[in-house]
Structure 1
Amino acid sequence: MSKDTIPTLVNPEWLETRLDVSDVQVLDCTVYLQAGSGEKNYDLKSGYDHWSEAHIPGSQFADLIEDLSETENPEYPFQLPTPDVFASAVSELGVSNDSRVVLYDTVDQGNNNEWAARLWWMFRVFGHDQVGVLNGGWPRWTAENRPVSSTVTTPTSADFTAEYREELVADKEDVRTQIEDSDACVINALQSGDHAAERIPNSVNIPAVGDEGVLDTDGTYVSDDTLREQFSEVGATDADTVTTYCGAGIAASSEALALHQAGITDVAVYDGSLSDWTADPDLPTEQGE
């Protein structure tokens, strides 16, 4: 089979016919958020155990908690690692600059694709465009009775070189400027109730999950036409700069993927999102509809 460009949204049939193609690397990116203990609102659990019991044949597990996030500040989980750390981690998973990478997660329907979209964005930040997300993730894969394996293999290390794209990453100073710029569009990917409760001033809302969001009821992304209509209504289509945010940068990554699918490709994710913004007493928030 000749090498073809990987789609941003990968259908299960596309992947199943390429499971034995050497340059196609499949990574499970699952993280589970569980009810928190003590002062924490949530606890994080790796999806490794589930992956080791049942996964897409030939896939490897990508650990977003430890290996693919900055870990020095536990107050802000899932922040971008350095280019060298990212390159080392994906190289150990068998990903090279010549790889076509398919990402998926095993989260239940309703929050599908967010962890996969997070790693999709990270690959793009570090210069790799041959990357796509399995649309509908593990729930869709199994619902369609696609192949499943319990065989855990050790990947052959590859050579990945990262090239950092600063234009795909926003910080609080960038966002502070953008919310005062009529040619910029800052999009909150949290659900509408959360947006009403507390948000960055002058930001607009399209939820990554829930009603009127970028996911359909079956856990796949809504059609490209619907995405374009949604983003046009909030001004993203005509904006010079588009930035997404959420609570900690995960849902914002799924929103960035949806924007990319709609044809708005140079989208930055505010990596710290509200966790970073609200920690600064000098930065304003607003409430209400």
Structure 2
Amino acid sequence: MKQILFLTVAWLAVASTTVFAASTTPLVDTNWIKQNSCKPGIVVLDIRNQLDGHSKMDYLRGHIPCAVYSDYMKDGWRAKVNNIPGMLPPLPQIEKLIGSLGIDNNSHVVIYSAGTNALDMGSATRVYWTFKVLGHDDVSILDGGYAAYTTDKANKIQTGMNQPQPKTFVAKFRKDMYPTEADVEKARKSGDILVDNRPNDQYMGVNRTATVKRNGTIPGAKNLPESWLTDNNGGQFRSVAELEKLYKNAGVPLKGEEINFCNTGHWASLGWFVSSEVLGNKQARVYDGSMTEWSADPKLPVEQKIKVD
């Protein structure tokens, strides 16, 4: 009888763990975060930074209860690799950063940024994508970010610093999620869908950022600007129905091989997140080097649709 009872308890423990893992969704709302932010096994990660006009001081003045802080722009989420800025850091470096935040391979990580516009939601999607590339699927984003949470004045705000207990995080790099420059050129020649998630003026070749050497885009790429993907370019993602209409308008299929790119892989992570995690196209990938790497190689073609003297 004791053996039967033991087996039953063990089965229930496994079953409850399985249900919890299966319940992880790409997006969570403020009701979910209120109920779960301080539960064991959940790490809420505040990544507000200078891109959204915030800093660590804003975190100290107020954050979601039990959230830990990491500055997306300053703490090492991205690195210069082969002279290309903003790339995925070497694995030992990113493992150390993640572990220092009290995150191990059993943690459910919930990320939030300020929630002001598509640009800062790209910080959340970039960190989310980083976890996915490192083999960690138990990760979510707070839809609408901190702005959505603080809309309801009844929601509790915590001040001061939550100092996490360091843990060990071991990456399992998913090479299939990380196309190289050569992979992108092969995909281009094969006619696979390439999606430029930059603003239209950069896609057309009218303007470029400081890190990009040549105006224009990868030949054959479709343009699906990052500002289309959130509601009125705010902090909340558009509905599936709205996104499907926008994808159709941009000429981007909802299924099939897809590589998202931008200047340095920030906006591209937003495009990838919508394609892969919201619309369910698991064949979507991010080209990390994006136009900064592509335009620096004179052997690779760049299409400038409008030439300005």
CA shift for structure 1 position 46: 7.4
CA shift for structure 1 position 110: 4.5
Q: Where has structure 1 moved over 4 Å in runs of 4 or more? A: none
Match of 2:13 in 1: none
Within a 5 Å distance, the mapping from 1:54-203 to structure 2 comes to 54-64=62-72, 65-71=74-80, 76-106=84-114, 108-145=116-153, 146-182=155-191, 184-197=192-205, 198-203=216-221
Match of 1:41 in 2: none
- Give distance in 2, aligned partners of 1:70 and 1:179: 26
CA shift for structure 1 position 119: 0.3
2:247 corresponds to 1:231: yes
2:274 corresponds to 1:258: yes
CA shift for structure 1 position 267: 2.1
Kept after mapping to 2: 8 A contact 1:68/1:85: no
- Give distance in 2, aligned partners of 1:174 and 1:31: 32
How many residue pairs match? The answer is: 272
Counterpart AA for 2:106: D
2:301 corresponds to 1:284: yes
Kept after mapping to 2: 8 A contact 1:93/1:157: yes
The structure with the largest helix share of the pair is: 2
Match of 2:39 in 1: 21
- Give distance in 2, aligned partners of 1:86 and 1:110: 25
CA shift for structure 1 position 66: 3.4
Q: TM-score by structure 2 length?
A: 0.81
Q: TM-score by structure 1 length?
A: 0.87
- Give distance in 2, aligned partners of 1:200 and 1:54: 43
CA shift for structure 1 position 244: 0.4
1:185 and 1:72, CA in 2 relative to 1: closer, same or farther beyond 3 A? closer
Kept after mapping to 2: 8 A contact 1:112/1:137: no
- Aligned partner (choices 264, 267, 270) of residue 248 of structure 1: 264
2:238 corresponds to 1:222: yes
Kept after mapping to 1: 8 A contact 2:117/2:230: no
Kept after mapping to 1: 8 A contact 2:43/2:108: yes
Match of 2:286 in 1: 269
Kept after mapping to 2: 8 A contact 1:25/1:101: yes
CA shift for structure 1 position 57: 1.4
Kept after mapping to 1: 8 A contact 2:25/2:140: yes
- Give distance in 1, aligned partners of 2:305 and 2:67: 44
CA shift for structure 1 position 112: 4.0
Counterpart AA for 2:188: I
Kept after mapping to 1: 8 A contact 2:118/2:229: no
1:87 and 1:166, CA in 2 relative to 1: closer, same or farther beyond 3 A? same
CA shift for structure 1 position 236: 3.1
CA shift for structure 1 position 72: 6.2
- Aligned partner (choices 181, 200, 204) of residue 222 of structure 2: 204
Counterpart AA for 2:26: T
CA shift for structure 1 position 22: 0.9
Specify every segment of 5 or more residues in structure 1 that has no aligned partner in the other structure, as ranges. 35-44
Aligned-partner SS, 1:55? coil
CA shift for structure 1 position 207: 1.1
Kept after mapping to 1: 8 A contact 2:134/2:174: yes
Kept after mapping to 1: 8 A contact 2:47/2:70: yes
Percent identity over the alignment is 25
Aligned-partner SS, 2:203? helix
